[in-house]
Amino acid sequence: MAGIGEEVAHLLDALGVDRAAWTGGSMPSHSPLTGEQVASVRVADAADIDAALNRASAAFRAWRNVPAPRRGELVRLFGEELRAAKDDLAKLVTIEAGKIPSEGAGEVQEMIDICDFAVGLSRQLYGLTIATERPGHRMMEVWHPLGVVGVISAFNFPVAVWAWNAALALVCGNSVVWKPSEKTPLTALATQAVFARAVARFGDAPAGLSQLLVGGREAGEALVDDRRVALVSATGSTRMGRAVAPRLAQRFARAILELGGNNGVIVAPSADLDLALRGVAFGAMGTAGQRCTTTRRLFLHDSIYDGFVAKLKAAYASVGVGNPLEGEVLVGPLIDRAAYETMQEALVAARAAGGVVHGGGRVGEGASYYVRPALVEMPGQVGPVLEETFAPILYVMRYDDLDAVIEQHNAVAAGLSSAIFTTDMREAERFLAAGGSDCGIANVNLGTSGAEIGGAFGGEKETGGGRESGSDSWKAYMRRATNTVNYSDALPLAQGVSFDLG
């Protein structure tokens, strides 16, 4: 390896990753910054997967009996190790996923934040005491650890999404087996090495509590189909979700699905337009359009359309595109050639549907794929506007009636993130009401990207319905038991049922 490969080697060594894991393997790892191969990763075979699941099952049986606050201590130590490793891990995220440095650092910070959240949660895994109709009885619900949790993550958030799941799963008393994207195995190896340092400091965690399965589709299918795995949290495309969900349902396993997002923003006449411009620009261009929460549809009121589009065009034309390690840029590369080709196909379809395309061309040549973000003025919500393209394409449309545009906003298959920019309280509340946005995330005066870990993350419809991270998402990683205790010397039955043996 040369050039950026040397930097990768330095980072992996600094993060404590065993060289045998990323040299001499059968899976090539490429950086989207240059397109060059930077590692060759060892892939888990069927025997490795079986052994990992056996270890995870044994680890769960031991870990479930550890008091939850003690489990939280392991996650607290992991957060400390992440703080110490933040700069190196963030740079590796930039190199492997193509994010600009602030986004790479932000992703690691998100891991630290969810650790903090989970540590507090470890003392709040509470149930309810429930009123009972039977005298001399007490009824309550309790929450118990669930089992082995499988995590299948995507390239665009190569470490944060695992952390959302793992931090909660661990404090809830579960073991974790992680299958990362084939496009980002190095950050997963590094994260696992950081976690191992926390385990060493903790001292008495069972072996196999958190494990990594590097591989292709076969590794993911093993997690989905194996009865030793109680829950699979899968992040990826809707197509992937359609394959995963029925296979899990067939064996009555649990699923947390975080799938596609065709996210829309409405800008009303009363909006603070400078605020809206910044929110739309980041939402549409951040991470080179490769977020599930990326803004992909923009509805502008007729009265502000021309002026707002002119400002957007100027922003799109001036935004820095390039290697995030070599200059002050805001838009890094697409992950690979396939992503670039998919983007170009969508732009061709947009033109065929009557759209006017601004930008979207390739920047530079070679084995990396940098593009100028595309702004596409569409005559209506037709053709490619109805589909999610994982690239920086923003479709812009006019509207003149709020109720009609909310209906149009909701007329897509996915339901992840949404936003309205307005200073009219009635418009804001209409958007947030039951008849407003049908998405799992609905914002007022901020964009569709940048969710905080304190709120449950996820969406409806073809987004999959799963929830991760904050609020009460922890309940998905536990099983609920309703307990009734009879402390009387009688045996009254509920609903007045009589069963007298005489």
| Burial track 122-134 (b if 16+ CB lie within 10 A, e otherwise) | beebeeeeeebee
Can 133 be counted among the known catalytic residues?
no
Catalytic residue chosen out of the listed positions 96, 110, 182, 292: 292
Catalytic residue chosen out of the listed positions 96, 258, 427, 468: 258
Chain position carrying tokens 């038991």: 481
Secondary structure string (H, E, C) spanning 290-321? CCCCCEEEEEEECCCHHHHHHHHHHHHHHCCE
Distance of CA 173 to the CA centre of its chain: 22
Q: Would you put residue 461 in left (φ > 0), alpha (ψ -120 to 50) or beta?
A: left
- Among residues 8, 43, 11, the alpha carbon closest in space to that of 25 is found at 43
* CA contacts within 13 A on the Cβ side of 384: 26
- Among residues 73, 70, 66, 87, the alpha carbon closest in space to that of 10 is found at 87
Chain position carrying tokens 């402390």: 487
Cβ partners under 8 Å of residue 309, min gap 6: 300, 375, 377, 396
How many CB atoms neighbour CB 170 within 10 A?
27
How many CB atoms neighbour CB 382 within 10 A?
15
How far lies 248's CA from each of 44, 124, 220, 232, 235, in Å? 22, 29, 12, 8, 14
Contact 187, 178 (CB under 8 A): no
How many CB atoms neighbour CB 305 within 10 A?
18
- Write out the two tokens for 136: 């001399």
Q: What angle do CA 80, 143, 491 make, to 5 degrees?
A: 160
Contact 321, 372 (CB under 8 A): yes
Separation between Cα atoms, residue 449 and residue 245, nearest integer Å:
26
Separation between Cα atoms, residue 484 and residue 491, nearest integer Å:
12
Distance of CA 254 to the CA centre of its chain: 18
Radius of gyration of the chain (CA): 25
Can 115 be counted among the known catalytic residues?
no
Contact 115, 165 (CB under 8 A): no
Q: What is the DSSP letter of 207?
A: T
How many CB atoms neighbour CB 205 within 10 A?
24
- Among residues 260, 331, 261, 267, the alpha carbon closest in space to that of 298 is found at 267
Task: Please give the positions annotated as active site.
Answer: 258, 292
